Structure 1
Amino acid sequence: MKKLLLASLFILGFFTVNAQNVTLNVNLKPIQTLVVNNAQKIVNLTYTTADDYKNGVSSTNTDHLNIYSTGGFQVKVKSANATLQNGAKTIDANTIQIKATAGSNAVNGAQYSQNVQLSNNETTLVTSTKGGVDKKISIEYKGAGADTYIDNYVPGQNPTVYTTELTYTIVSQ
């Protein structure tokens, strides 16, 4: 009996279970995308009356920017130049103000900058400590009043158009 028991233990010793461990990593990399609404890629501030020159004009672009971010982010804007150009004539970019507000699918807890002067240096418009999917930001562009542009019409041009390119960027925070 002793031999049978010893033989059984000896045989069982060969059938021990070997366990193996596996390390599973979930690697999350930051993703930020910003898309300008295709229907709003050209923004016009049109002065047609004396009141427009006196009070300024604005263009509100609802859901102008669409955001996807895996975490906190900042949205920034800058002008290609410090001035808007029409041939040899210019108007200062900082006479245009930009106001960011929550769009139809707002970023929870975001902070929106009001009345930012356009510049050829990046200026922060929106800051959020949380990410989001398909979040919308509305942008209002406002041109100067107080007859700021009264001497910028060029005879023979109807209308006289001053142009610059704006660049919106999103960065993780």
Structure 2
Amino acid sequence: MKKLKLTKVISSTLVVASILALNPIGASAEWKQDESGNWWYTEGDSYARGWKLIDGNWYYFYSDGYMAKNKTIDGYYLNSNGAWTKNFISKEEAVKIILENYNDFDRTPSISDLKMIRNIENQQLYYLFFSNIIVPSTGSAKPYFIVVNVNTGEHNAYGPMSMDKYYNTYVQVD
């Protein structure tokens, strides 16, 4: 009788322990921001690192725990909120857009020629191709740049008279 009661107590204890082990209590996770405006994500007592799926969006966290933003990491573009942007135009696609629409520069653009820039006012990201335009009537070269929106593929060319626009409108981000 005592043996049967002891067996029931032990088996009940094992069942309760198994249920608790299979349903762990979730660690608290939360977003935090420092005084400089940089974000990180905590998972319990540690910082998130690497790629993390949070609330349906992918984010990348550096080894120090800070979230990457306005960057391309492992070929994926992270927007100003740090989330992976799926409708991102690659550098290869931007070169193709430039070649299909412009042909009066002094050299052919390549992937390594493109720089990522951000419009100061609207925070949109663009690829920049900076070159010289050959003026047909004189054969002389003048400063020239083309911007391609990384999200939409929309593009614009700016000639010699627009260099102030470039320096006052965009900042380089890579």
TM-score (structure 1 length as normaliser):
0.28
User: Which protein has greater RCO, CA pairs closer than 8 Å, 6+ apart?
Assistant: 1
TM-score (structure 2 length as normaliser):
0.28
Q: Which one has the largest radius of gyration? A: 1
Q: Point out the structure with the larger strand share.
A: 1
